[in-house]
Structure 1
Amino acid sequence: MIVRIRSIGHGIFLTLSVFATKIVALNAEESNHCDANSHHHGPSSCAAGESYNNCPLWLAPSYTGTDREPKYGLFAGKAYGVNETLPVHAELAIPLVDFNFQPTEQFQRNPAVSLPNHHAQLIDFLEGFFWTANFVGAQCEGEYSAPAAIPGIGVLSHYHSGISNVNFHQASVLLRKSPSFLKAGEPHLSRGAITTYHNVTLQATREIPLGMEFFADFGDVWDETSGDNDDAYQDTIRRSDYEKADTIISDLVTFFQEFPDLSRDLQEEIVDFMVDDVLGEAAGKHAKTIRSLIPSSPRKVAQAQAAGGSFLYRYREMIRSSDWLQQNGFCLDTLRAGPSRIPSAGWGAFATRRIQKGETITVSPMLHIADKEILNMYPVGETSSSTQSIGKQMILNYCFGHPESSLLLFPLGSLATLINHQSGKSSNAYVTWSRRVDKLPNQHQYHDYTVEQMAEVSKIVLTMKVVATSDIAEGDEIFLDYGPQWVAAWNDYQARWQRDKQGNSHPLRAQDLRDQYRTKPFAAARTKRPPYPVGVATACFLNVREVPDGKPMFDEALRVEIVEWSSPTTQQDYHGRNLFIVDVLDRAMAPEHFFNYTVLAKFAEDRIEEIVNVPHEACTFVDLPYQGDISLPGAFRHPIGIIDGHFPQKWRNLKGTKSKQ
C-alpha cells in the first residue's frame, strides 16, 4: 500500500503522512462532550433558513419513545448552524430551594413525626427532569441545593447517548436584565410569587438539519451513567467515538478533494489503510467501534459527511419529513412571551396569530407530582431541630391541582406556564386532557390509577391541551380561569399585601444591583467598605491561569496564591459552574474593560486564590441563601385549579378531609 502511494507522487504521500499523524493525535485524547467546532456539514438538500411550512418548532413523538411508552420532543422547523441561538421560545427557570434536602436527622430526633417513605423516591423521579442550579446561576439560592425546573426546552429536549445538538445558551439567563414590571426598592404583588429567572434559551452545538429532533447536552456526569440505561432507543456507542469518526470522515473528504484524479480502487485502498492500519494502531480498543462508523467506499464517506456526520448517516430516520411532522406533530407557532397586561401577573403568553374558537392553542405534557407535601420546605442546618415546614416551593404556583387531591401537575409545554388568570368570561381559554383522536394523545388509563399508584409511575404519561373558548386576535393575551379556590387565595394574599407591604420600600436584591452596576464600578475593600445591602454578595465568572513570569505569584499578607483571570471572553464562555462569590480587593481603570479588579475567591475548602485582572463585565451580584425574592416570607403559594369535571375521581385521595392547598 505504501509503495503504491509513493509511486503516484511525493505530495500525496506527505499529505497521507500528515493525515495519519492527525489520526494518532486525535485518539490520544478523550472527548467527553460535543465539540461545537467539530467538522459537521448539514444535508446538502436543506439550506439554512429553509423551513417546513413556516413552522419554527414542532412538538411531536420523540425518537426515544415507543408506541407503548410515547415521549414527546421538540423538532427543528428549519435548519440551524453551529452556535446559532435557536429562535424557539425563551423559557422561565424555577429554582427549588433545598428541594432534595430531607430533614432525616430532625425527624429521627423526634420519633413522634415520621417522614413519608416515598418522598426519597419522588425526589429521585422529579430530579431526573430538573437541571442543576449552575445552569441558570441559582446555586446561591439555597444552603444545600437549588435544582431548576425549566419547562419546554428544559424537559422536551431529550437525552441521547450518541448525540447532542443543542445546549443552553447560559449567558442569556446569567446576564439577564430585570423585568420592567419590577422596580428596584419597590414592593410588588408578584415578588416571591413568580420566578425572576427568565430568558432561558438554546443554542445549536452542531449543524441541525431541517426536521431533526433536539437532543440536549446533559453533561459529563449524565454521560458517564448512561451506560446503565437499558432503553433500546439509546446508543451503546460513545458520543466521543462518533466525534472522532466525523473528524476522520471530514479529513478523508478533504484529501480526496485535494487529489481528485485518484482512481476509485486507490481511493478505497487509502480508506482501508487509514481506518484499518493507522486507526487500529492509534485507537486501541475503540478502533473497531470507530471503524464501524466510517463507510468503506469514498463515495459513501462523502455521503456520511453530507448527512451531517456519522451519527446521522447511521440514523437517517431521525430526520423527520414535513409530511411526518404534519401528521404526527403540533406546530408551536401560536404563543410568544411578554410582560402581562395584568400588572401583578409578571410574564404572560400572547397569541402570535389569529386563533379560532375551539382551536387548540398549545399542547403540554404534564409532569405529575404525586404528593404535594414534597414541596414543603424545612429549615436547613445541623443545629436545627424543627420538624415544621417553613414554606412551600415556588413551583407550586405553576402547577395544576385540585383541593381534594395531593397530586399536582406541572406543565412542560412551551410557554404553558406563562398563561395567566382571568375569571369567567374574561378568560379566553380552558385546559383539558388531550383526546385519543388528537395527534399527541393523553394516556387516559392512568386516570384509573390511585395517587399511590401514580407515585410509582416514573415517566411522563399525561398530556393536556389549552383550547380557545372564543376567537383570539393576534397580540391578545391568553387567559385561563384558575378556579374559585385560587381566586379566594389570591384575594386573601392581596389584602394582606396591601395592609403590610403597599407603600413600603423593598430591600434591594442582586438583580437590582446588577442593573445599577452595569456601568458603575464595584466597590473595593481596600478603598472603602462595600455599600451593598445585607444578603447580597459580589460574584465573578472565573477561569484562571498562572500569572506571567515577572509578576507577583504569592500574596504575603493574605497567604494565598495569585493567579490571572482568563475567561469568559465571549457569550459562549459564560457558565454558571464558573460563578464564584468573591471579595473585591482592589480595582484599576482599564479602558478596554471599564475597570479591572483584583478579587479573592474560594474555589474549594482548601483552595483560596487571589485573581488579578478580572474585567468588570465578568462580575455581578448574587443573593445569599434565603435572601432573594424566591424565599420571601409570606409570598403567594397556590396551585392552578382544573375544571372539577376534568379531574379524575381516582386521584381525589383527600376527599372529605380538610386539605390545604
Structure 2
Amino acid sequence: MAMAIAAPLSRPRWSATALTWYISAFIFILLGSAPPASLAASDGGSAGSDNNGDDDDDPCLLYLAQSTIPNAGLGVFAGASFKKDQQVGRVGDAAILTVDQNWHLSSEGVSVSKGEGDYHWPLTNYDWNAPDIGCEWEAEDVSVTVTGFGAAPNCHFRLINIAEHKATYDNAGLDRYKSPGAGASTPWFNRSSTALWDIEAGSELFVDYGQDWFLTRDGVFELVPVADSFEKAQSFLKHYGELLVGSTNPDDLVEDKMALDEDARRDLWDIIRTFPYVTRERQALPVNHEDAIRAIHGDIQAIEKENSVRSVQYLKERGKCMDNIVPAKSNIPHAGRGAFATRLIPKGGLVAPAPVVHIADKSSTNMYNEKIGRHGNIVRDESVIVTQQIILNYVFGHPNSTVVLFPYSSNVAYINHHATEYNAEVRWAKDFSFYHKNEWLSKPVDFLEEQWTSGLLLEFIALRDIQAGEEVLINYGDEWQAAWDEHVQKWHPSNSDTLWTKTTDNNTGLSEYLRAEVLNDDMATPIRTMAEQAVEPYHSSIHFKCYVNVNHLSPYEFEPLTRPYFKREWDRRVDMRDDSDDVHYNACNVTLRYESDEDDSGDDDDDEVEEGAGAEYLYTIELEVKKEFGNTFISEFHVITDVPREAIAFVNLPYTSDIFLKNAFRHEMKLPDDVFPKAWMNAILEN
C-alpha cells in the first residue's frame, strides 16, 4: 500500500541580487524613507577620577557616563538601586527662569524665534515649559532651564523610568527688604525626580521629553525614534523573521531552518542597519543581529532594557560621580544656598562633572526698558538695559569675550564664591573624548554660533581635601568681586515701586511683598470678600484665580447687543474635571462668603469641602471672560455661587518675584585666563 509522506520543510534559498532587492523593498515599505543622513560614530572614554564612588558603604548614587544609546553622547546612570516612587538622587534640581526673551531680543516689539537663528540660544534644546515646573505665572513668556535631571538624561520612549515633578519656590531666606542677595539666585529649587518602577544599579536613567520635542527639531534629532517608531520596527522584525525561515512560527527560528548561515545573517543585518536612507524606524531596530533574532517574537523594549544597563564597576572606572555635593543654606552671607560635600573629596579629586552649553553672545541675556511704540503698543527701549536674565549669574565667561558657558550638572549651580578661601577650581576634562570636543577650544566664536548642541565638559576639582559637610567654594574672579562689592555698597531695601515689569498696570494693596504660596497654605483663614478687602486689602503682589468651567451650551449665532450674563451653582463634576480642556484657573473676584449648609452635601463625598475653619465657608465669585467671535471678542459676565475654598487660589502677579527686582545683582563668573580659550577672546576691553 502506498503511503503519502510529507516532504521535509525546505530552507528558502536566495540569490544575492534577489536578496538585496527584497531587503531594499521591505525597508522602504515597512520603515519608510528619508533623505540620506549619517550619524557620527562614538568612541569610548575613560574617567578614572579620584573620589568616584568607590566606597561600597557610601556608593555614588548618580553617574555621568557614555549613553547606551548609540551616538547620544552623555547619559545619567543609577549608581545604586531605587525602589518605585523613590527619590532618585539625594535632592531635586535647581530651576532657572528665562522670561520674555523673544520680546527683549526683538525690534519694535516684533517677536523672533530662538530656533531660527535670529539669536544664538542653544539652551532652547534643554529648556522646559513653565507649567511643567509650576512657574507659569511668573511672566508672560517663561521658559525654564533645569540643571541635573532637567538637562543631562536622555529620552528613550520605550524605557522612560523617571518621573519629574514641579519645583518649589523658596528664596532661602533672602529678604528683599534686608539682603543685597535678594533676586540674585533662583528661588525655584528641588525639582524632584522619582523612579517610575524599581531601577537596578547600573541602569541608564531616561526622562520624557515629549514626542513633539523631537518632531519639531531637525539635524540629529529628526532621526531619534519616537513611540510610533518602535511599533513599526517591531512589525519589520516580524517580516524579517519570515524572510529567514519562511514562516511566522517562533519555533522555526533555529539554526538548521535558517535560509542563511550565521555570517550571512550578520552581513544582511549590517546592510539593513546601514541602508543609505535613514529613518526613525530603522534607528529603533536592535543594533546587533543576535538581539534582532531575540526580538523577532519577543519585544524590542526588553532587549533595549537589557542593553541600557552598565555594570557599576564600569561606571566607577569610566563614569564621573554626580553625587559628591548637595545644596544647603550657605555659610556665605547673602548667598542663599550653597553646595556641600556629601563625602570626603581628596585633593585633586572630582567635585562634580559639568557639561556646558555655550552661548556665543552674552548680550542675549539683556533685558530692556519699555516704551510706547509707533503703533501704540509696548515695545522695548533699546537705549535702556534694565538688567539681565538671572541665568547670567550661573554662567562662566571672560571680560575679553562675548562667549559664556552654562554648566548643567546636578547641584553645580549652588557652588559659591570666596576670593581667598576657595577649595576647588574649574578645568577642562581630559577624557570623555566621545563627548568633549577639545577641538572646539581652538575654534573662533563664529564656529560656536553655528553649534546648537552641547559638546564641552568642565570639571570642578578639589584643591585640597574637602571634608564631608564642608561647603565647596571657587573663585569667581576679581571682576565679579568688584561688581559685588559695588552692588553691596549701593544697595538699598526694595519696594514695589522698584520692580521692573513689562506692564503699565499699577497694583493697589499692601506694598510689602508676600508670596501667594503663604496664603494658599493657610486653608483655615476665610478669604476676604471685595468689600472686606476695601478696608483690609491683600498684598499688591497677589490676585485670585478660580477653578471653574466657563464653557456653556449657548453658542453665539450673532454678536449680542448686551453683555451676556450667566449665573449658576458651582458643580464639582463640571468645574473640577481634570480631563476637560475647558477647565482652568480664571481671574475672579470674591463677592460673598457664607457658612456652608452641611445638609446640602448629603452623603456624597464629591460635595465635601476640605477640613479646616476656612473650608467651612462657601463663596460667591464673579468673573469676566472674553471669548473670540469672528474678528471680535464677546465679554461674558459669570456669577457662580457655592464655590468651595479649594476652588479659589491666591496667585502671584507676573513680574513681582525677586528675580524682577531692578537692583538685583547680575554678573557672570570668570573662567580663569589659563582655562578660557584664547580663540574665543573676541571682545575689546573698554579703558
TM-score norm. by structure 2 comes to 0.66
SS of the residue 2:457 aligns to: strand
Alignment partner for residue 671 of structure 2, among 633, 638, 642? 642
Matched residue type, 2:108: Q
1:541-552 alignment, distance < 5 Å: none
Aligned length: 529
1:78 is displaced (CA, Å) by 3.3
1:58 is displaced (CA, Å) by 1.3
1:186-335 alignment, distance < 5 Å: 186-219=177-210, 221-222=212-213, 224-225=215-216, 230-231=220-221, 234-235=224-225, 237-238=227-228, 241=231, 311-335=301-325
Distance 1:122 1:177, change over 3 A: closer
Distance 1:132 1:567, change over 3 A: farther
| Offset from partner CA, 1:248-307 (integer Å, 9 cap, x none) | xxxxxxxxxxxxxxxxx99999xxxxxxxxxxxxxxxxxx99xx99xxxxxx89x96xxx
User: Does structure 1 residue 147 correspond to structure 2 residue 143?
Assistant: yes
Unaligned runs of 5+ in 2: 1-55, 236-247, 253-280, 287-293, 499-509, 554-562, 597-607, 629-634
Alignment partner for residue 91 of structure 1, among 90, 93, 96? 93
SS of the residue 2:64 aligns to: strand
Alignment partner for residue 365 of structure 1, among 350, 355, 358? 355
1:492 is displaced (CA, Å) by 0.2
1:488 is displaced (CA, Å) by 0.2
What residue in structure 2 maps to residue 523 of structure 1?
528
| Offset from partner CA, 1:397-429 (integer Å, 9 cap, x none) | 1111111110011111110000001112x1111
What residue in structure 1 maps to residue 45 of structure 2?
none
- Give, in whole Å, the separation in 1 of the partners of 2:529 and 2:358: 48
SS of the residue 2:379 aligns to: coil
Alignment partner for residue 120 of structure 1, among 118, 121, 128? 118
The answer to whether the Cα contact below 8 Å between 1:65 and 1:233 also exists between their aligned partners in 2 is: no
What residue in structure 1 maps to residue 478 of structure 2?
484
The answer to whether the Cα contact below 8 Å between 1:400 and 1:641 also exists between their aligned partners in 2 is: yes
- Give, in whole Å, the separation in 2 of the partners of 1:404 and 1:150: 28
Distance 1:220 1:108, change over 3 A: closer
Distance 1:578 1:57, change over 3 A: farther
| Offset from partner CA, 1:463-513 (integer Å, 9 cap, x none) | 111111111111111111111000000000000115889xx9983132574
The answer to whether the Cα contact below 8 Å between 2:103 and 2:109 also exists between their aligned partners in 1 is: no
The answer to whether the Cα contact below 8 Å between 2:108 and 2:379 also exists between their aligned partners in 1 is: yes
Matched residue type, 2:118: A
The answer to whether the Cα contact below 8 Å between 1:152 and 1:414 also exists between their aligned partners in 2 is: yes
Distance 1:355 1:106, change over 3 A: same
1:241 is displaced (CA, Å) by 4.8
- Give, in whole Å, the separation in 2 of the partners of 1:52 and 1:229: 44
User: Does structure 1 residue 592 correspond to structure 2 residue 583?
Assistant: no
Distance 1:180 1:487, change over 3 A: closer
- Give, in whole Å, the separation in 2 of the partners of 1:456 and 1:230: 14
1:393 is displaced (CA, Å) by 0.3
- Give, in whole Å, the separation in 2 of the partners of 1:333 and 1:231: 29
- Give, in whole Å, the separation in 2 of the partners of 1:541 and 1:86: 33
- Give, in whole Å, the separation in 1 of the partners of 2:79 and 2:328: 23
What residue in structure 1 maps to residue 410 of structure 2?
414
Distance 1:192 1:74, change over 3 A: same
What residue in structure 1 maps to residue 338 of structure 2?
348
The answer to whether the Cα contact below 8 Å between 2:569 and 2:641 also exists between their aligned partners in 1 is: yes
Report % sequence identity: 26
- Give, in whole Å, the separation in 1 of the partners of 2:318 and 2:550: 49
Distance 1:208 1:365, change over 3 A: same
- Give, in whole Å, the separation in 2 of the partners of 1:314 and 1:150: 27
Alignment partner for residue 391 of structure 1, among 387, 390, 396? 387
- Give, in whole Å, the separation in 2 of the partners of 1:208 and 1:239: 25
Distance 1:163 1:526, change over 3 A: farther
Q: Which one is further off, 538-547 or 403-412?
A: 538-547
Distance 1:367 1:519, change over 3 A: farther
Q: Which one is further off, 468-477 or 233-242?
A: 233-242
1:356 is displaced (CA, Å) by 1.1
1:528 is displaced (CA, Å) by 4.5
The answer to whether the Cα contact below 8 Å between 1:563 and 1:610 also exists between their aligned partners in 2 is: no
TM-score norm. by structure 1 comes to 0.69
What residue in structure 1 maps to residue 134 of structure 2?
137
Unaligned runs of 5+ in 1: 1-50, 246-264, 270-287, 294-299, 548-555
- Give, in whole Å, the separation in 1 of the partners of 2:434 and 2:134: 34
What residue in structure 2 maps to residue 559 of structure 1?
566
Matched residue type, 1:58: Y
Distance 1:546 1:221, change over 3 A: farther
User: Does structure 1 residue 181 correspond to structure 2 residue 187?
Assistant: no
The answer to whether the Cα contact below 8 Å between 2:516 and 2:542 also exists between their aligned partners in 1 is: no
Matched residue type, 1:122: H
| Offset from partner CA, 1:171-225 (integer Å, 9 cap, x none) | xx2xx36345235x74322211111111111123344343222222223532654
What residue in structure 1 maps to residue 429 of structure 2?
434
User: Does structure 1 residue 535 correspond to structure 2 residue 567?
Assistant: no
Distance 1:417 1:177, change over 3 A: closer
| Offset from partner CA, 1:48-78 (integer Å, 9 cap, x none) | xxx9973321111223452xxx622211223
Distance 1:76 1:500, change over 3 A: closer
Distance 1:405 1:229, change over 3 A: closer
Distance 1:332 1:653, change over 3 A: same
Q: Which one is further off, 529-538 or 339-348?
A: 529-538
- Give, in whole Å, the separation in 2 of the partners of 1:600 and 1:210: 54
1:320 is displaced (CA, Å) by 1.7
The answer to whether the Cα contact below 8 Å between 2:357 and 2:408 also exists between their aligned partners in 1 is: yes
Matched residue type, 1:351: A
- Give, in whole Å, the separation in 1 of the partners of 2:668 and 2:425: 15
- Give, in whole Å, the separation in 2 of the partners of 1:152 and 1:604: 41
Matched residue type, 2:334: S
Distance 1:327 1:80, change over 3 A: same
| Offset from partner CA, 1:495-542 (integer Å, 9 cap, x none) | 0115889xx998313257447735433333376547222232234677
1:435 is displaced (CA, Å) by 1.0
Distance 1:586 1:129, change over 3 A: farther
User: Does structure 1 residue 474 correspond to structure 2 residue 468?
Assistant: yes
Distance 1:618 1:491, change over 3 A: farther
Matched residue type, 2:610: E
Matched residue type, 1:178: D
The answer to whether the Cα contact below 8 Å between 1:401 and 1:408 also exists between their aligned partners in 2 is: yes
The answer to whether the Cα contact below 8 Å between 1:76 and 1:211 also exists between their aligned partners in 2 is: yes
The answer to whether the Cα contact below 8 Å between 1:106 and 1:384 also exists between their aligned partners in 2 is: yes
Distance 1:579 1:500, change over 3 A: closer
| Offset from partner CA, 1:446-477 (integer Å, 9 cap, x none) | 01111121111111111111111111111111
1:452-467 alignment, distance < 5 Å: 452-467=446-461
The answer to whether the Cα contact below 8 Å between 1:161 and 1:238 also exists between their aligned partners in 2 is: no
